[in-house]
Amino acid sequence: MNCPGYAVLRVGDFSLRSLIRGDAALAGRPVAIIAGEGRLARLAEVSPEAAGAEVGLAAGLAMARRPDIILRTRDPAAEAEANRLLVAAAFTLSPRVELTAPGCCTVDLQGAAPERVRALMDRCLAELARAALPARIGAGATPLLADYAARRSGGVLIVDDAREFLRPLPLGFADPLPAHAAILADWGLATLGELTALPKAEVGLRLGAEGVALWERAAGETRRVLRLAEPARTFVAQWAYEPPVESIEPLFFRLRRFAERLALELRAAGFVAETLALSLSLEDGTEHRREFRLPEPGADVDSWLRVLQTHLESVRTPARVTGVRLGASPARPAQRQDGLFDTGLRDPAAFWENLARLSALVGEGRVGTPAPADTHEPDAFTLQRPPEAVPAVADPPVHGPRGLALRRFRPPRPARVLCSGDRPVGIESEVAAGAVCRARGPWRECGRWWEPGGWEAEIWHVELAAGGLYQLARGAEGWRVEGVLD
Amino acid sequence: MPHAPIRLDALRSLLAARFPEKSRGRGAPVRTGVAGIDAALGGGLPAGRLTELVSPAASTGGQTVLTRLLVSSRAARQRVALVDAADGFAPEAVPADALRHLVWVRATALADALEAADLLVRDGNYAAVVLDLRGVPERPLRRIPASGWYRLQRAAEGGPAAVLVQTPFGLVPAVPWRLVLGAPRTLADAGLPQEAIAAGIGVEVVRGHESAREQAG
């Protein structure tokens, strides 16, 4: 199974979902978001409970059809809070996340272990659903393909065969200009597959550059660079009540929402909370503050809420609450006991997960702990699985390393070497060129001479008059610059 | 046992005094084993920060610094990651035992190297992460967006890893510490023990100040 490359997290009817998530009174009720004012106000997003009302309907008509419908305008604060939750959830999939639009995140999955991707996505959706922000995930080879998949998905949809997936999708997915949409309809084209069945160049001839771009969007080929978001660095959430509240329920509801978001942000950044700081702003201008040291540092919402609830049930404030603020101080999770001489892994899960991602990124067999091979052959080593704990230090070698350390050119660079007698006096190569002012050598090395594939080389260390020390080797393939002594 | 924590602290202090090399604290500087660099940085590479080490010419000692860092961190049993953008690291140039705490990432492209460094810096299991960009052509290095460096710096902040970026010229914007290695070495050094060569490596601090040193400490 190949890694899909990109994933898109999308929350449908984002403004409405954010609003309902932030107001306990709206859950399970017929609610709609209206856009426009006065008589021009129309329904922009409608909850499934508001059957009979539909998007685009005039607000007055909707109220006539559904007298119990609750009409609201968008709530920027609730949307900002939901966006932060969505970004935190996206960071559980990969550290490379873009907030593409409100309610939509694009995630770069390149390098992720394919067998883990699906499980991570399922867990991510479950986290969001628990936090009352149901989302969908689509994944594909390009950000655009992943976006199409997310729009089509009911949960998680990973596109393996792009052509087959795109074929039945309506043309509207590729956002054609209205004029082009009309032309394509005249041509009898209704799906992306029908459009991409036409030669791209012919479409370009008839519809121009925008036609070519449309064809590429229809084929899901459009690529772009993500504008990466930063993971949360501060873990604070706050809310202002209008009107002020005087009971514990709305306060506790808001704190639950804060805790869901903060816990996810902490986990995505590899932290847990050590302390929680609660602050209530009161109508008389005073403030009630309390800091809680958690019995065990963690990012578990229910354990945080138990601590907060226990405290809030005993609090009597002299005035109504106008605002609430919750902060969490981050700490590294103690995955295992840290001893004085401890040299094991602090976070084994992150360590092995990242090694797998690095292998996927740079190639299998290019990540690990190097170990010299049992031969004198140049550049012979193996890469091994890193140890769980750094082993005890061995006795130092009797003869420690001498001279500057070698830095290799892989592969060694061919060189033309001018010799006086058998000593190099000048070199010419893509990495070093000039007169040689000093040279040491030769050291003659050979190995496996008793079988085919044996090797031998004559090693020289040279200093160029212009500066720089290089290791040269003369073998069956002629002179080569093996590396720089640095 | 109400006094147990106090006795444990006393025991830890005693052990720390008796075995200073074993009792490194979380966030303590990582010694490079090169006296000039450790002195300039106030004890070693600062944890949670980027330090740029510029090798302006061949044979100025950049690879020897890396080798000494591996030896020094091995003695302290600290885990180190090396992201090798030009795949130039030569394991045979380092004592075999000084490789056992190293995770070497042999990158094939600059973008992969930067992404690998980003992952490793956030990992939380490494005392030091070295991003070696020497050997990468100048043009792609200049094209690394400043936002990429700021992202790496923010990833390092607050984490346990000291991040050393080895570059052929001053590259990292707003880096807390930029050290430039001195004149190229000569073949006369070839027979000297590496410790002696490291002791003679000079650096010029072109960026860095007392406040950064205090924070690093």
The answer as to whether A411 is a domain residue is: yes
pLDDT band at B45, cuts 50/70/90?
A: very high
Q: Tell me the mean pLDDT in the region A164-185.
A: 92
Residue pLDDT, tens place only, A369-385 = 999 888 888 888 999 98
Residue with tokens 């007392």: B210
Residue B1 is predicted with a pLDDT of 41
- The CB density around residue A220, as the number of other CB atoms within 10 Å, is 27
Residue B4 has pLDDT above 80, yes or no: no
Contact B12, B178 (CB under 8 A): no
User: How many domains is chain A built from?
Assistant: 3
Minimum Cα–Cα distance from A461: chain B residue: B187
Q: Tally Cβ neighbours within 10 Å of residue B163.
A: 29
User: Does A359 reside within a domain?
Assistant: no
Last residue within a domain, chosen from A187, A218, A249: A218
* Residue A212: partners with Cβ closer than 8 Å, 6 or more residues away: A200, A203, A204
What interhelical angle do A114-130 and A76-91 show, nearest 10? 150
Residue found under tokens 């932290």: A271
CA distance A32 to A46: 4
pLDDT at A260: 94
Q: State the CATH class of domain B32-208.
A: alpha beta
Distance CA A75, CA A84 (A): 15
A268: distance to nearest CA of chain B, Å? 11
pLDDT at residue B9 in the model = 59
- Residues A125 and A137: their CA atoms lie apart, in Å, by 8
Closest CA to A378 of A458, A440, A469: A458
Q: Which of residues 167-196 of B touch A (CB under 8 A)?
A: 183-187, 189-195
- On the question of pLDDT at A274 being above 80, the answer is yes
The C-alpha angle A13, A96, A137, rounded to 5 degrees, equals 35
The domain boundary residue, chosen from A298, A331, A364: A331
Residue type, A355: L
Selected residues 462-481 of chain A with any CB under 8 Å from a CB in chain B: 462-463, 467-470
| Same-domain pairing of A248 and A302 | yes
pLDDT at B16: 61
Q: What is the three-class DSSP state of A252?
A: helix
Distance CA A273, CA A267 (A): 9
Strand segments (E) across A380-477: 381-384, 406-414, 416-420, 423-428, 433-447, 455-464, 469-475
Domain assignment of residue A53, yes or no:
no
User: Could you give the CA distance from residue A378 to residue A216 in angstroms, rounded to a whole number?
Assistant: 49
Q: pLDDT tens, B154-172?
A: 889 878 899 999 999 999 9
Contact of B13 with B23, CB cutoff 8 Å:
no
Higher pLDDT, A350 or A388: A388
Q: Cβ of A486 and B55 within 8 Å?
A: yes
pLDDT band for position B216 (cuts 50, 70, 90): very low
For B96, phi then psi, to 5°, come to: -55, -40
| Chain-chain contact of A390 with B100 (C-beta, under 8 angstroms) | yes
Q: Binning pLDDT at 50, 70 and 90, where does residue B49 land?
A: very high
The percent of residues in chain A predicted with pLDDT above 70, rounded, is 97
The answer to whether the bond into A370 is cis (omega within 30° of 0) is no
pLDDT, tens digit (0-9, with 9 covering 90-100), for A377-427: 888 899 998 988 888 888 877 788 889 999 999 999 999 999 998 899 999
Strand partners, B177: B51
pLDDT at residue B23 above 70? no
Residues 434-453 of A with CB under 8 A from B: 438-440
State how far the Cα of B15 lies from the Cα of B13, in Å rounded to an integer: 5
CA of A432: which chain B residue's CA is closest? B58
Mean per-residue pLDDT over chain A, rounded: 89
pLDDT at A255: 94
DSSP classification of residue A358:
H
Is residue A208 located within the same domain as residue A250? no
* Residue A134 φ then ψ, to 5°: -65, 135
In B39-173 the beta strands, taken as DSSP E runs, fall at 50-54, 80-84, 102-106, 128-132, 162-167
Q: What local confidence, expressed as pLDDT, does residue B141 receive? A: 96
Interval B61-74 mean pLDDT: 95
Domain regions of chain B by residue span: 32-208
Residue A440 is encoded by which pair of tokens? Answer: 């040491």
CB B72 within 8 A of CB B80: no
What average pLDDT score do residues B78-105 get?
Answer: 95
Q: Indicate if A252 and A289 belong to the same structural domain.
A: yes
pLDDT band at A95 (very low <50, low <70, confident <90, very high): confident
Å between B14 CA and nearest CA of chain A: 11
| Residue from A257, A252, A182, A193 nearest A220 by CA | A193
| Angstrom distance (rounded) from CA B179 to CA B60 | 12
Residue A42 token pair? 């129309």
Task: Render pLDDT for B124-158 as a digit per residue (tens, 0 to 9).
Answer: 899 999 999 999 999 999 999 998 999 899 889 87
Q: Are strands A321-331 and A367-372 parallel, antiparallel or unpaired?
A: unpaired
pTM, to two decimals: 0.63
Chain-centroid distance of CA B50 in Å reads 9
Q: What is the pLDDT of residue A437?
A: 94
pLDDT at A269 over 50: yes
pLDDT at res. A354: 83
**Whose CA is closest to A73, among A44, A103, A105, A112?**
A44
Is the CB of B123 less than 8 angstroms away from the CB of A393?
A: no
Express each pLDDT in A223-248 by its tens digit: 888 888 888 888 999 999 988 998 88
Which pLDDT score is estimated for B24? 47
Residue A176: which CATH number? 1.10.150
Phi, psi for residue A362 in degrees, rounded to 5: -100, -10
Across the range A325-337, mean pLDDT stands at 77
Q: What are the φ/ψ torsions at residue A445 (nearest 5 degrees)?
A: -130, 150
**CA pseudo-torsion sign B68, B69, B74, B76:** positive
Instruction: Provide the mean pLDDT of chain B.
Output: 87
Quickly tell me which residue has 């002179």 as its tokens: A479
CATH number at residue A285: 3.30.1490.100
Q: Is A44 helix (H, G, I), strand (E, B) or coil?
A: strand
Same domain, A246 and A306: yes
A112/A484: higher pLDDT: A484
Residue A82: Cβ within 10 Å count:
28
Cα–Cα distance between A159 and A8 in angstroms, integer?
12
Tell whether A315 lies on the interface with B, counting CB pairs under 8 A. no
State whether the Cα torsion B189-A455-A373-A482 is positive or negative: positive
User: Which positions ≥6 away from A199 have C-beta within 8 Å?
Assistant: none
Phi, psi of B84 (to 5 degrees): -105, 95
Using the beta-carbon criterion (under 8 Å), do B59 and A486 form an inter-chain contact? yes
Q: Say if A469 falls within a structural domain.
A: yes
Rg of the Cα atoms in chain B: 18
Range of the domain at A426: 406-485
What are the φ and ψ backbone dihedral angles of A123, each rounded to 5 degrees? -65, -40
User: Do both A213 and A243 map to the same domain?
Assistant: no
As for the ipTM of the complex, it is: 0.86
B32 CB within 8 Å of a chain A CB = no
- Asked if B121 and B155 touch (Cβ cutoff 8 Å), the reply is yes
Using the Cβ of B103 and the Cβ atoms of chain A, whether some distance falls under 8 Å is answered with yes
